[in-house]
Amino acid sequence: MTVTPAAPEVVLSVRNLCISYLTRRGRLRAVNKVSFDLHAGETLALIGESGCGKSTINLGLIRLLPPTGTIDSGEIVYRRRDGQTVDVRGLTTGQLRQFLWRECSMVFQGALNSLNPVIKISSMIYDTAAAHGMDKKEARDRALDLFQKVRLDPRRVFNAYPHELSGGMRQRTLLATALLLRPQVVLMDEPTTAVDILTQRSIIDVLKRLREELNFSVIFISHDLAVAAEIADTVATMYAGEIIEMGPVAEVFYRPRHAYTLGLLEAAPRLSVGREELHSIPGSPPDLVEPPPGCRFHLRCRFATDECRTTPPPLTTAPEDERHTVACYHTATILKTRQEELARD
């Protein structure tokens, strides 16, 4: 289920990405030294609480940061289907416009805000296609086919205005539109937040099927561990602007090695498990203008020791699985705690 056979190609490679915002109180480092590889066909879930930097990463990857945000350093390298690599940070505005949609597209939270209320879905499709040199006939055929794939009534939706569609239909319309120009990477920011349970289910199912049929890669941003558990191949936990743990989904959920990941799991209620003992994480996330020294989580961590308070823990690889990396001094204790909890269930 989560095993990647013979490591498929890397389509997006991010190294030491740092992004900051200029605020009245000074520079705020929203993303700090983030590195990861996204492989062909892989779904990477970035999970974390509000303000952890997950949305900023997504906006940075496609250079759509607000005017106060800048990429300070780091590399974003995208590999095209023909094998050529693209330095995303070096793209001119014109090149970026071609890069978006064709190579990398995005689906944002709140579908209504992403759809122009005064034009029909068909016009939006045609506009997008024209901007990238796809002819009208091909765009129409492709859109109708994609609408079918996302379980929409193709003709009805194609000729509809956004307000004529329900929330779930709009979100699926956006998903289909994002795939119009056959991008290799789709960025999704909380696509199932603020929708109803049954709508969320249909979006998840549609996304899973599309991925199997079209084999694109996804970076999926969510605060919802359950959705990540369901659709992700790889999970990266973010805290205070940093990826503090990353690995295959089963590794991160069943064998977490960072205290924050453990804390998130201990706070997540599960329906199919009878009475549960849950715990929340004390305190609140740190101020990113002046982040605490050492491990950024140490003020809220029940395992914290002196070295956590002074020296940031380096990213290390788990002995059992080299794809599992973590920045914590107490991996063994945390792993043991989780295993004991799972045994109790």
Partner 1 sequence: MINPAPAAAAPLVALRHVYQTYKKDNHLLRVLQDINLEIHPNEILCLVGESGCGKTTTGKIIAGLLTHTEGEVLFKGRPPASYTGARERADLRRTLQIVHQDPFASLNPAHTIGQILSYPLQRHGMVSGRAALRRRIWELLTLVDLTPPGDVVNKYPHQLSGGQRQRVSIARALTVQPGLIVADEAVSMVDVSIRIGILKMLHRLREELRLAIVFITHDLALAKYFAWEGRIAVMYLGRIVEIGPTPQVIGQPAHPYTRALLAAVPEADPDLTRHKQQIPLRSEDIPALAAIPPGCAFHPRCPFHVPGLCDASLPPLAVPAGFQQQAACLPLHQPEGLRRYGT
Residues at the interface with partner 1 (CB under 8 A): 1-2, 49-50, 151, 166, 168-169, 196-202, 204-205, 223-227, 229-230, 249-250, 253-254, 263-265, 267-272, 274-276, 278-282, 284
Distances (CA, A) of 169 to 121, 128, 164: 12, 19, 9
User: What's the closest the beta carbon of residue 235 comes to partner 1, in angstroms?
Assistant: 9
Q: Between 2 and 311, whose beta carbon lies closer to partner 1?
A: 2
160 close to 122: Cβ distance less than 8 angstroms: no
Q: Between 216 and 253, whose beta carbon lies closer to partner 1?
A: 253
User: What's the closest the beta carbon of residue 215 comes to partner 1, in angstroms?
Assistant: 19
User: What's the closest the beta carbon of residue 21 comes to partner 1, in angstroms?
Assistant: 18
Q: Report the alpha-carbon distance of residue 246 to residue 191 in Å, rounded.
A: 21
Residue 43 structure tokens: 């779904």
User: What's the closest the beta carbon of residue 225 comes to partner 1, in angstroms?
Assistant: 4
Count each helix (H run) and each strand (E run) in the chain, helices first: 13, 12
Length of the chain counted residue by residue:
345
Q: Between 46 and 181, whose beta carbon lies closer to partner 1?
A: 46
Q: Between 79 and 211, whose beta carbon lies closer to partner 1?
A: 211
Backbone angles phi, psi at 210, to 5 degrees: -60, -40
User: What's the closest the beta carbon of residue 48 comes to partner 1, in angstroms?
Assistant: 9
244: nearest Cα among 303, 310, 329: 329
Q: Between 97 and 279, whose beta carbon lies closer to partner 1?
A: 279
User: What's the closest the beta carbon of residue 277 comes to partner 1, in angstroms?
Assistant: 10
- In our burial notation (b when 16+ CB lie closer than 10 A, e otherwise), range 192-227 reads beebeeebbebbeebbeebbeeeebbbbbbbbebeb
Q: Between 332 and 342, whose beta carbon lies closer to partner 1?
A: 342
